[in-house]
Structure 1
Amino acid sequence: MIKCSSFMIMTNVSNIVISLSNKYKNMKLIKIVQYLFYLLIFALPWQTRLIYQTGELNGGFWEYGTKALYGTEILLAVIFILIISQIVISIKGQKIEWQLRPLDYFILGFIIFILLSTFWSIDCSQTLYYFSLLIEGLALFYLASRLGLKFRLLSYSFVFSGLLQSILAIQQFLTQMIYGNKWLGMASQNVTDLGVSTIEGAGRFMRAYGSLSHPNMLGGWLVVCIIFLLGLLFQYQKRFYHAPWKVSKALIGQAIFLFSSLVIMTYGLVLSFSRSAWIGLIVAMIFIWIGLFKQKKKDLLKFYLRLNLIILLVIVLFSMVYGQLLINRVSVESRLEVQSIDQRLQGYGQAFSIFKAHSLVGVGLGNYTAALYEVDNTRPAWEYQPVHNLDLLTMAELGIIGELILIGIFISILLIIFKQWRVRAEENRVILLSAALAIVVMAIFDHYLWSLYFGILLFWLILGLSIREE
């Protein structure tokens, strides 16, 4: 298998890339790769794709059985090819010693397990397709942790992307319509269409999607973007506080842009009406409070309090006009919210049933909805949804063996985080860890971080950044 052998390439690449970027600071190709990586982050929410196999169940479209090539996959492939070519040139004639960490061994074991699972998966082709997405996610994980990315440029790539998505979200909510564009990967939708995600108040309102396929995905992306925006605002505060006499027009312009972005992106997040995203942001912001307290940075704490008040003010102003929508979403008492909770609880029960029937090795990566279809093949295609909990989903697909290996990966990442924190605990590290924490929290309430291309790449990207080497 070509993609199985790609693990050794990824680990070897990860060991070399950071040494190359440190040794050759002015190396043009490394800088090109870094800027392409920033572009990849900006473009990640755009779902432009070429479908080469349409999934179908009971005559309806089956998203989780659909195979496609995404535009950002091409960009990721270009990045990886450039890195490999540079490595081949740089190490020609040299003896290289590969150093594998416990994390790398767990990832290798996970890849081998997924490949072996094709023998017992419900649909072998489905497992292989999701395996290819996993390999891309792991490639992104290694690149994010070892590429020597600049925190400021990294953050701006998230912020510009989040700002554009928020503007799009505001337009969608105000017009209650999504204008389709196949080149941007957006399907035409409006509030009257069947299957559109809505919320009820004084009428029926469509939740904002941005360019993504579900409002929860928009909410998750904006949470990450807002967290990185907070990191940029911290950098601005430090420059202003330590040298207020050097305030320039450029610094004032930067302040206007950053504070305006915070308002717009908070508004966009509210319009997603994603409870999982809201909870993720709240937990992340509490973690930032704890991190700043431990560092005893009083000036940053005061500044962070003002940022919290700005976010709260945006929510209050929105609630003055659409307060009933927020109340219905939070209280979980309206008809749609009760129905949503019932479906989630039913999904938990289904996941436990599938796990019990395939407890040792699971039904196969990417095969959860296929397993649901085997249990009951009478429902319409759109009802076959993954369980809204990443842990339950991985248990059903991977079984006890796969889940234990995955836990080993996460524990290894945590050990690296603790080691790095002891060496260097500063606000940039707090921001990266709060983004990872937000992802973990959102994974408790949703499935897209494991079941959809965008979510898979986002999941491994943020985990990689959480152990980013300076």
Structure 2
Amino acid sequence: MTSGFDEYESFFLYASDIAILLFLALLTMKEARWLPRIIGALPRAVMLGGALLLLAAGASLVVAPSLPLALYGFARLLFGVFFALGLAAAISGKHVPTAFFFGSLAVSGVFQALLAFLQFKAQGSVGLSLLGEPLLGPRIGGAAKIIVEGGALLRGYGTLPHPNVLAAFLLVAFLALSCFWLRRPGIKKIWHGGAPLRSDIVLGVTFFVLATGMALTFSRAGWLVAACATALLAVGAFFLKEYRIQAVRYVVLVVAMLMLLTSMLGWAIFPRATLSRGEPAVAYRLRYNDLGVELVKRNPLGVGIGNQVLYAVLRGRYFDLGMKERWQWQPVHNIYLLTAAEIGLLGALGFVVMLGAALWYGVSRFLYRGAERLEVVVATTTLLALLALGFADHYLWTLQSGRLLLWSVLGILVGLVLKKERMPS
């Protein structure tokens, strides 16, 4: 659309789309009326926020400079909503155990982390383009790098479009795996004929693989949010009496991993950990946020879903901010400003209300006794972590991998909330 080639300004059909359609078809075969059931059971605030989000996004089609791009963006939003509702229906209807989804996230995260390690070691792609691996190299333009002692080092991508997206995915996988660690009994045998020590080793190594992958993304926002989310999860689990011992052991494990990682990769981690307002990663984000504020002021009803970049290019907004190169024409790096810019203030309000209400119900469920309280804590913490990352990047709204992360976690949390006795709306 702007003579470039970016996922957020192009049309794609993904293999994950087919997988999601298959999942929804199987769910429909299992329970024909899952959709009206789950919509009718949604907490009122979640439903009203989601309805306002969809209405505003639909209305933004009228003002979009590119109707095809807006229709595609709206279809993607609807697809994400249906996926989240499907996950919620599968969990609340007990068609699929929550452990299956958490386990799938953890296993996928291990694969991505190992691939990131191989990419970092090779300083380039490892030949998995069929799985979505980008063409990578420290001298390839557009590849994300860090500078250490004057030399460029490629950051880990996995099969995802950017290291920051990989960091978010590995954080979700790490928190999902944490549920298995915390849920284990502290003294009883885990496997038939096995012992807790054996599972300690297996889970500990898996945690270390995920943590190493996270380190190799060199995503500072990912590191910060991961530290806060891990601490929050440990505190939440500690307040659940049956998981208190495992929560303490979890903290010991995480601290030990951090010490080991910094001893191995400190030469690259510590220079990257510094932050200044003048460096490009920060300066550009501030400029993109300025752009978002300006667009919202000029267009309180939005510029059309999926059209923020195109609109800003056509109106010369990037030029006004001194960004004249095509690679600088990127979305606003804040999903809350970005949604307000694209679908208007009412749409952004609906987005925030929907997500905030889901978090509120998650916290409320944590405060009440019942089954799967630990899973609720994990899902709530994970969603909160993603929303925190949304203040510093755009992928949760613009990229397929980011959207799937957001809608997956939201669907799991809503499913866990609805699996229990309904709270007053």
Instruction: State the TM-score, normalizing by the size of structure 1.
Output: 0.79
Distance in 1 of aligned mates of 2:152 and 2:88: 44
Shift of 1:311: 2.5
Distance in 1 of aligned mates of 2:12 and 2:389: 25
Shift of 1:165: 0.6
Q: Does 1:366 align with 2:314?
A: no
Give the superposed CA RMSD. Answer: 2.6
1:381-435: per-residue Cα shift (whole Å, max 9, x none)?
3221112111111111122221222233224323432442343363222212111
**Structure 1 residues not aligned, in runs of 5+:** 1-55
Describe the SS at the equivalent of 1:61.
coil
Distance in 1 of aligned mates of 2:191 and 2:169: 35
Describe the SS at the equivalent of 1:205.
strand
Q: Of 432, 443, 460, which aligns to 2:407?
A: 460
Shift of 1:333: 5.3
Q: Does 1:223 align with 2:171?
A: yes
2:205 alignment partner AA: S
Q: Does 1:313 align with 2:259?
A: yes
Distance in 2 of aligned mates of 1:370 and 1:229: 40
Partner of 1:267: 212
Distance in 1 of aligned mates of 2:102 and 2:31: 27
Shift of 1:98: 7.4
Larger RCO, structures 1/2 (Cα 8 Å, 6+ apart): 2
Partner of 1:64: 8
Q: Of 159, 163, 174, which aligns to 1:211?
A: 159
1:48-447 residue pairs with structure 2 within 5 A?
Answer: 56-57=1-2, 59-88=3-32, 99=40, 101=42, 102=44, 103-148=46-91, 149-202=96-149, 203-236=151-184, 238=185, 240-241=186-187, 243-244=188-189, 248-249=193-194, 253-296=198-241, 297-318=243-264, 322-332=265-275, 338-359=279-300, 361-376=301-316, 379-424=324-369, 426-447=373-394
Partner of 1:43: none
Contact 1:212–1:218 (CA under 8 A) maintained in structure 2: yes
| 1:231–1:464 Cα change, 3 Å | same
Shift of 1:356: 1.2
Describe the SS at the equivalent of 1:467.
helix
Distance in 1 of aligned mates of 2:159 and 2:195: 31
| 1:115–1:245 Cα change, 3 Å | closer
Distance in 1 of aligned mates of 2:286 and 2:144: 19
The percentage of aligned residue pairs carrying the same residue is 24
| 1:166–1:98 Cα change, 3 Å | closer
Distance in 2 of aligned mates of 1:159 and 1:417: 21
2:170 alignment partner AA: L
Shift of 1:272: 0.2
Distance in 2 of aligned mates of 1:370 and 1:234: 46
Aligned pairs, number: 401
| 1:292–1:210 Cα change, 3 Å | same
Q: Of 375, 396, 404, which aligns to 1:449?
A: 396
Distance in 2 of aligned mates of 1:298 and 1:97: 34
**Structure 2 residues not aligned, in runs of 5+:** 420-425
Contact 1:267–1:314 (CA under 8 A) maintained in structure 2: no
Partner of 1:14: none
Contact 2:49–2:352 (CA under 8 A) maintained in structure 1: no
Contact 2:234–2:251 (CA under 8 A) maintained in structure 1: no
Describe the SS at the equivalent of 2:13.
strand
Distance in 2 of aligned mates of 1:386 and 1:132: 19
| 1:139–1:310 Cα change, 3 Å | farther
Distance in 2 of aligned mates of 1:97 and 1:384: 40
Describe the SS at the equivalent of 2:146.
strand
